[in-house]
Structure 1
Amino acid sequence: MNVLLVFSGILSAVAALLHLGCIYFGAPWYRIFGAGEQMAQLAEQGSLQPTIITSGITMVLAIWSLYAFSAAGIIGKLPFMRLALVTITALYLCRGIVGLFLIFYPIGRTPQFWLWSSAICLLIGVVHLLGVKQQWRLLEPQL
């Protein structure tokens, strides 16, 4: 069992659950987590847009969590393991880096949102990268 991938899987799962919390608790949670005033207002108005967007993010994070758990050996092997893990790791790292630049141009979000979410994405990305590196040989495609 790869502890780093277990940890990154847990982090992705927690992020997915927090996104579900935004759907359930609505505008106050969208505001707390810095999703932007527009998302909060849409949630208050009963629009489905925040729910749809946040549900999509939740599903992606849950799938990423499953891939980390699979690579760690907790659940069975998922398809396209190497490709998925490299892509997931790259997306976390890129999101973290790009988000740091958006602190100065927040485009509808708060600078604090970009700082914290970028730091979290970078943390998960680095943990993911180290875990994938450790497991790389075991993730070879089966021919």
Structure 2
Amino acid sequence: MLRLGGYINIVIAIGHLVGLIWAQQMFEVTGIGKEMNELAQTHSTLPSLLTIFVAVVFFIFGLYGLSADGKFRKLPFLKLGIFGIAAIYIFRGIGELMFDISQQNASPMTETIYSLIALGIGLLFLIGGIKKWKLKKE
């Protein structure tokens, strides 16, 4: 599970970088076109820099998943990192869905799909972490 979560994050990171080739279209498809246009008003490079930063974060998440699976050396704060990543994804997935329900907004289908994907990745890290570091019964 951790390996799959790691590879998914690396693919997402690469997707962000490749998407910069068609940045405006990528921003529109993902539903952040308006926000990125506003950010570009401050400085034209900010949307690209933000996208690169996000790609780096996803890549690091991927490395933590692969490290926990034993694919390469142990990264620092591995257990904390895995459960922290799980919490971030689960919070993102459930939080967005709950916000839309509380606002009684009909969320775009893409946003619902992104939330479910985030929830799924969070569960991969959570369940994978629990399996790796089983709580010992005393």
TM-score by length of structure 2 reads: 0.82
> Counterparts of 1:50-129 in structure 2 under 5 Å?
50-103=47-100, 111-129=108-126
- Measured in 2, the distance between the counterparts of 1:48 and 1:103 equals 31
**Gap change, CA 1:68 and 1:131, over 3 Å in 2:** same
**Structure 2 residue 9 is matched with structure 1 residue 16:** no
Question: Cα distance 1:93–1:39, how it changes in 2: closer, same or farther (>3 A)?
Answer: same
Instruction: Give the C-alpha shift of residue 42 in structure 1.
Output: 5.9
Aligned positions, number: 131
Unmatched tracts of structure 2, length 5 or more: none
CA shift, 1:40, in A, is 5.2
- Percent identity, please: 33
Residue-by-residue CA offset, 1:8-52 (whole Å, 9 max, x unaligned) = 011111111221133222101111122233325766xx8111112
Aligned-pair Cα RMSD in Å: 2.5
Do structure 1's residue 34 and structure 2's residue 31 form an aligned pair? yes
Deviations 1:48-80 (A, max 9, x none): 111121111111110000000000011110011
The letter of the residue matching 2:77 is F
Amino acid at match of 2:8: L
Report the 3-state secondary structure (helix = DSSP H, G, I; strand = E; otherwise coil) of the residue aligned with 1:34: coil
The amino acid that maps onto 2:13 is: A
SS at match of 1:128: helix
Give the unaligned 5+ runs of structure 1: 138-143
Distance 1:25 1:102 in 2: 30
Q: TM-score, normalised by structure 1?
A: 0.80
Alpha-carbon distance in structure 1 between the residues aligned to 2:96 and 2:55: 19
Name the SS of the counterpart of 1:75 in structure 2.
coil
1:48 is matched with 45
